[in-house]
Amino acid sequence: MPNGGLRSKVEAAQLKASGVIAGIPDILFIWNGRIHAFEFKTKVGQLSPVQRAVHAAWKGQRVDVHVVRSFDQFKELIISITN
């Protein structure tokens, strides 16, 4: 996953040069004209300050941002969105 995980300084610079932006959610899903952004975390994983700022800015633009901690939660969200 190019936009996740810890990186060396060299790898981080290469990703930044290729257009990767810190804090952007992992997956975007558009359904019925609405944008849903999904950030995947472990059960104890925390959002970084940059992720919190991006999520707040996107929510201000009426993007639904979801922090997902399990496959079952993701599946329930997708079912809820598409029904």
pLDDT tens digits along 8-58: 878 777 777 787 788 999 999 999 999 999 999 999 999 999 999 999 999
Domains in the chain: boundaries: 21-82
Long-range CB pairs of 40-48 (<8 Å, 24+ gap) are: 40/68, 40/69, 40/74, 41/67, 41/68, 41/69, 42/69, 43/69, 43/70, 45/69, 48/22, 48/23
Q: Tell how far CA 56 is from the center of its chain.
A: 12
Local confidence band at 72 (pLDDT 50, 70, 90 cut-offs)? very high
CATH number (3.40.1350.10, 3.40.50.720, 3.40.50.800, 3.20.20.140) of 21-82 reads 3.40.1350.10
Looking at residues 55-66, what average pLDDT do you find? 97
Looking at residues 71-80, what average pLDDT do you find? 97
